[in-house]
Every structure is written in C-alpha cells, then in structure tokens.
C-alpha cells in the first residue's frame, strides 16, 4: 500500500480531504523521525516500538575474494511489533 493509498483510505474513513490526510501522514512521519533522533525510541500502542540500535565493529569476509574486511560500527533502526499486532495479523497460536 502506498502513502497515497493510505491517505485516500484515511480521508474516506475519517471524512476529511485527501490533502488533510496526506498532511497528517507527513506530520506523523516527521514526528517519528524527530523522536528517534532525540530519544532513540518511539512506542506506538497496539503497533510496536521503533528503536535506534548501535552495532559494534566486527570482522567480515568479502564473499568474492575471501579476504577479511573490517565492518565499522554503525547505528541501525529496528521495529518490534506489539503482541496485539502479531496476534491480529498472525492469529493466536
């Protein structure tokens, strides 16, 4: 589903214009980015948690040549789905 399709769906369900729905989605995206930069995590109830995670530097191998290479430390983003989301999508086991 694209951002335009999400905006159209929200506009239809809530009864607002597509322009307003697109603006709301852009603001939500901006909020997620701001919070991850500032706090490092954002929890959305019923959806999950967005987190920044630091990885350590490590040694790897070039698959083409087999030569050892150093992979530098970096920050990655991680999303952990909430239990409610998992249960509603996958069903209870």
pTM: 0.72
Mean pLDDT (the chain) is 93
Q: 91 pLDDT band (50/70/90 cuts)?
A: confident
Residue 7's Cβ-count burial label (10 Å; 0-12, 13-18, 19+) is buried
pLDDT in tens, 13-50: 999 999 999 999 999 999 999 999 999 999 999 999 99
Rounded to an integer, what distance in angstroms lies between the CA atom of residue 93 and that of residue 87? 8
Tell me the two tokens of residue 19: 């322009």
Contact 22, 3 (CB under 8 A): yes
């Amino acid at each position: 589903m694209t951002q335009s399709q999400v905006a159209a769906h929200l506009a239809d369900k809530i009864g607002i214009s597509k322009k307003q729905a697109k603006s709301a989605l852009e603001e939500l995206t901006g909020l997620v980015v701001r919070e991850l930069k500032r706090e490092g995590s954002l929890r959305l109830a019923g959806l999950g948690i967005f987190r920044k995670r630091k990885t350590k530097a490590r040694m790897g191998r070039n698959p083409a040549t087999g030569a050892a290479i150093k992979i530098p430390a970096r920050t990655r983003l991680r999303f952990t789905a909430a239990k409610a989301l998992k249960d509603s999508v996958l069903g209870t086991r």
